[in-house]
Each structure stands twice: as C-alpha cells, then as structure tokens.
C-alpha cells in the first residue's frame, strides 16, 4: 500500500462509528501519550492540548524531547526495514500510536510505509489503547485488507494474542514492535506481556523495544521529565535503568547490537554518536527454539 491520503472528515466520521475501545474516553481538551507523541512528531492534526504538552515538555527538558522522539522514530524505522529485508512479512505494532500520515516533521514516514516499501504485500496489525489512534488508523487504512487497526490494552495479553492469531495467522513468525510503550507498564505488566508473547510466538519471531531510560540522565532532569510528563498526560511513566530494560526481554534472546541507545541502533553511518546525545534504549530480541535454551537475563551481557 502506498501511504494513504489523510482521512477526510467523512472517513473519520465513518471510522468513529466502528467499534473501538469500551466506552468513550476521548477528550479534546486533554492530551494522552499517543496525542503528545504525534504532536512531537509534527502531526499537522495534533490537538492544541497535545501541542502545548509537547512544547512544555521540551521547555522543561531543554529541547531534549524532540531529539529523543526523532531518534526513536529513526531507530524503529531502521528496525522494521531490517526485519522486512530479512523476509519478515507479518508485523504487530503494539502501542503503535497515531499514524503521522505521509511523514513527520523530520521527513520520517510511518513504520508501515517503511516496511511495505521493502516487502510489498506484508500484513500489519496496529494495536493501541488510545481512541484517537484507532480512529485515525482505521480512517487511514480504509479498505486495505492487509492492515488492521485494533483497540486493545496490552495489559490484557490474552486479547492481544487473539488479535495476532486473527489478523496475522496462527503459528506464524511475527515481528512485534514495542516502541516507547513498555515504560507505561509496571514491571509485572510488562513481564506478563513479554512472557505471553514468548509462549505464543514461534521461533524466529522478533521483538523490537524502545524504552525511556534514566541511565545517563542527570537525576534531577529525569525526575523533572517524569513529573512534567505524568502531569500533562495523566499517566504514570517508568524511567528504568539499562539493567532493568535489558531484563525486560525475559526469555527472548537479545541479538546484536545488544541493548543500545536508539541513536546507535543500526546507524546508517560509521562513527560514534556523541556521548551526550539524548536517547531511549533499544533492543532487538528473538524467540529461539525451546531446546536452544536462552540464557536467563541476569547472565546475558549487555
């Protein structure tokens, strides 16, 4: 599919009649992680509350948030391109967020557009618990039978697994993208999701995860960022250390390049990125066959 036209008012209205999440939580005067993130990427349809949140976050953190968002989008784009080049055709973008439409303010397209540019005919499932993400996603997708946009809460893994089976097929190799979403979950919720995926996915399946980190951040900056983000978005965010983020891969085998800054994940150019570059942390992990015996996380080198 080529990148679709932005949704018209008619398509948005039609999409709004399709079922999304239980009840209506949409409130245009408040923002959400999905809306704030889309505003940071420069979505032209961002609501004023989301734009204001992005600006306030950048102000509080000296512009770092824009840079981190860009690096996250770049790194995830490199990840799905890599997976598509390896022949993967089934993708689940879990906590996929609001589609940007064509490209963001840095010229970076949505992940679906990146992967389908490499591997035509792939199947894509976007799951999110944000109503606006579902509304936009469904309006953009239109009648494309290869792309599915579903409301679900990742804290209900059994329901997510059902969606994988329904839209991507049973016992298929799947690439799961967990972009900047695990940090909205407690340790227990994230571990439950990851181990459910491990039990469900067949060997050769991949997970890519990006995660906000406190490692490398001055503590007062980390705390200020957390406080401002939570106040503006009305959610709890978990700033984890590199060690904690590494452990979140659970039984999956972390593959090269290991747990790295997004800026260092399959960088297009040789040469080290600046030490002080702001970043999320990122890993790519594979579901190995059971008999291979993945090392427990504590023994794995970072």
181 belongs to the binding site for ligand SAM (CB under 6 A)? yes
Angle 14-15-16 from CA coordinates, rounded to 5°: 90
Interaction pattern, residues 57-96, with ligand SAM; x per rule: CB under 6 A: ---------------xx--x------------------xx
Classify burial at 204, counting beta carbons within 10 Å of its beta carbon; exposed 0-12, middle 13-18, buried 19 or more: middle
User: How far is C-alpha 150 from the chain's CA centre?
Assistant: 14
Pairwise CA distance, residues 149 & 133, whole Å = 9
> Looking only at Cα atoms, what is the longest distance across the chain?
54
Based on the shown chain and the rule CB under 6 A, indicate whether residue 37 belongs to the binding site for ligand SAM: yes
Q: Judged by CB under 6 A, does residue 129 bind ligand SAM? A: yes
Span from 13-21, 46-54, 126-134, 215-223 in contact with ligand SAM (CB under 6 A)? 126-134
Report the residue from 136, 184, 208, 265 that binds ligand SAM according to the rule CB under 6 A: 184
**Residue 213 binding ligand SAM, by CB under 6 A:** no
Query: Angle at CA 148, nearest 5°, toward 14 and 280?
Result: 110
Kindly indicate which of the ranges 177-185, 215-223, 267-275, 291-299 contains the residues binding ligand SAM, using the contact rule CB under 6 A: 177-185
Q: Cβ-count burial of 146 within 10 angstroms (0-12 exposed, 13-18 middle, 19+ buried)?
A: middle
CB of 1 to ligand SAM, least distance (A): 19
| Pair of tokens at residue 52 | 């204001």
Question: Least Å distance between CB 122 and ligand SAM?
Answer: 18
Q: How far is the CB of 13 from ligand SAM (least distance, A)?
A: 22
**Is 128 within 8 Å of 180 (Cβ atoms)?**
no
Distance CA 40, CA 300 (A): 35
Q: Rule CB under 6 A: is residue 179 a binding residue for ligand SAM? A: yes
| Nearest distance from C-beta of residue 200 to ligand SAM, angstroms | 17
Site for ligand SAM contains 155 (CB under 6 A): yes
H helix or E strand, kind and range, residue 85: helix 64-85
Q: Which of residues 132-151 bind ligand SAM (CB under 6 A)?
A: 133
DSSP H or E segment with residue 9: helix 9-17
Residue with smaller CB distance to ligand SAM, 165 or 290? 165
- N-term to C-term CA, the chain: 37
- Binding to ligand SAM in span 7-36, by CB under 6 A: 33-34
Of the ranges 124-132, 168-176, 269-277, 289-297, which one interacts with ligand SAM (CB under 6 A)? 124-132
Half-sphere exposure of 180 (CA within 13 A, CB side): 23
φ, ψ for residue 111, nearest 5 deg: -60, -40
CB-wise, 4 or 137, nearer to ligand SAM?
A: 137
Minimum distance, C-beta of residue 44 to ligand SAM, in the bound complex (Å): 17
Q: Which residues bind ligand SAM (CB under 6 A)?
A: 33-34, 37, 72-73, 76, 95-97, 128-130, 133, 153-155, 179-181, 184
């Amino acid at each position: 599919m080529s990148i679709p036209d932005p949704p018209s008012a008619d398509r948005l209205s039609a999409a709004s009649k399709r079922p999304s999440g239980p009840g209506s939580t949409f409130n245009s005067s408040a923002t959400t992680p999905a809306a704030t993130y889309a505003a940071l990427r420069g979505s032209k349809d961002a609501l004023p509350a989301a734009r204001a949140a992005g600006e306030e976050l950048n102000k509080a953190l000296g512009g770092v948030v824009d840079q981190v968002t860009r690096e996250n989008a770049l790194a995830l784009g490199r990840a799905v391109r890599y997976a598509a080049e390896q022949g993967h055709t089934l993708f689940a973008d879990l906590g996929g967020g609001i589609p940007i439409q064509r490209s963001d303010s840095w010229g970076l397209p949505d992940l679906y557009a990146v992967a389908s540019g490499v591997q035509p005919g792939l199947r894509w499932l976007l799951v999110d618990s944000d109503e606006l993400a579902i509304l936009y996603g469904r309006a953009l997708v239109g009648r494309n039978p290869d792309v599915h946009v579903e409301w679900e809460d990742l804290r209900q893994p059994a329901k997510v697994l059902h969606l994988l089976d329904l839209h991507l097929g049973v016992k298929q190799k799947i690439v799961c993208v967990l972009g900047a979403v695990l940090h909205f979950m407690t340790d227990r919720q994230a571990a439950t999701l990851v181990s459910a995926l491990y039990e469900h996915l067949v060997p050769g399946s991949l997970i890519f995860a990006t995660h906000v980190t406190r490692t490398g951040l001055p503590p007062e900056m980390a705390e200020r960022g957390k406080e401002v983000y939570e106040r503006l978005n009305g959610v709890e965010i978990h700033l984890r250390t590199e060690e904690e983020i590494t452990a979140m891969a659970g039984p999956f085998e972390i593959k090269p390049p290991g747990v790295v800054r997004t800026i260092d994940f399959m960088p297009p150019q040789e040469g080290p990125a600046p030490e002080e570059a702001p970043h999320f942390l990122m890993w790519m992990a594979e579901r190995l066959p059971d008999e291979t015996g993945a090392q427990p996380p504590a023994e794995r080198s970072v």
